[in-house]
Structure 1
Amino acid sequence: MKICNGLRPKSNYKIPKLIFDIINQCWNADPLKRPNSSELYQLIYVLWTNRNNANSVIYGQVKKTDEINKKLSFSLPLISSDTSISYVTHPQAVYTSKLLDFKNLPEPKNADDNDNLLGIEYSGKHT
């Protein structure tokens, strides 16, 4: 329900504005305004190919956000080195699926500037 009301996941680190813009496009309440896989690939590819070009906008934004994030104190690592997933199931457990009722969901909306996307911030200028 919160996502339908325009709320988005929180983040306690800064991200480059160009990446923030791509995330916002993917989170658009109107599915027709979200990038398809080809468009998303192209957006990310352009950033990736320019990541080491000191004259590119993304290079400057990444450097700036890295400096800010290094100064921040994180209680948990941003990326865990443990990629294994372990499941413990009860031998007598019975798992069933059920239909979910989505009839009374509110009309989806985008987050506005006041919501601040639940805390995700960006750094650097974007032209």
Structure 2
Amino acid sequence: MRICLGYRPKIRCEVPQLLLDLMNKCIDAEPQNRPTAKELSTTLYSFFEDLKNKKTELYKQVKNIKNLDKNLLTYGQVKYQTHPQAIYTSRSLNLSKLSKPVNAVSRLIDYEIPNDQVNESCYAILQ
């Protein structure tokens, strides 16, 4: 629930700066500052291609991190302990009384996208 107050999780392991910047964009409190699905897809594809070239910044960052910690797979593992008498089920949460996020200036916008634009956009993304 703290995320509703504007808190964002800290990245607790070594991550290339380029990926860290992208993650921070994705969790920005302002939706218009977050990348679109298409922008995200393009960026991730670019990163994937960069990993093939030893001269790129991303390749160098990943290699540096691998040299720092050979055991990244075990670094961030979390062990959960469940209570034997607890009931673990999904349920609706009453979010009507949440305070406004501390780092957001969002406002309600009434906007309608015509069906032909939606279909064109979906088709373009699937290409």
After TM superposition, the score normalised by the length of structure 2 is 0.60
- Give unpaired runs (5+ residues) of structure 1: 79-92, 111-127
Map of 1:31 onto structure 2: 31
Aligned partners of 1:53 and 1:35: how far apart in 2? 25
Given that residues 47 and 58 in structure 1 are in contact (C-alpha distance below 8 angstroms), is that contact kept between their aligned partners in structure 2? yes
Given that residues 54 and 60 in structure 1 are in contact (C-alpha distance below 8 angstroms), is that contact kept between their aligned partners in structure 2? yes
Map of 1:102 onto structure 2: 96
Structure whose alpha-carbon radius of gyration is higher = 2
Map of 2:111 onto structure 1: none
Map of 2:9 onto structure 1: 9
Give the secondary-structure state (helix, strand or coil) at the position aligned to 1:54: coil
Quote how far apart the aligned CAs of 1:75 are: 5.9
Once the two structures are superposed, the pairs formed by residues 1-127 of structure 1 within 5 Å of their partners are: 1-70=1-70, 74=74, 97-109=91-103
Q: Relative contact order: is structure 1 or structure 2 higher (C-alpha 8 Å, sep ≥ 6)?
A: 1
After TM superposition, the score normalised by the length of structure 1 is 0.60
Q: Deviations 1:10-46 (Å, cap 9, x if unpaired)?
A: 4432000000010011011001110010000011111
Going by fraction, where is strand more abundant, 1 or 2? 1
Aligned partners of 2:54 and 2:65: how far apart in 1? 15
Percent identity between the two aligned chains: 29
Give the secondary-structure state (helix, strand or coil) at the position aligned to 1:15: coil
- Give unpaired runs (5+ residues) of structure 2: 79-86, 105-127
Given that residues 6 and 102 in structure 2 are in contact (C-alpha distance below 8 angstroms), is that contact kept between their aligned partners in structure 1? yes
Going by fraction, where is helix more abundant, 1 or 2? 2
Q: What RMSD in Å do the two structures reach over aligned CA positions?
A: 3.1
Runs of 4+ in 1 over 3 A off after TM superposition: 71-78, 95-99
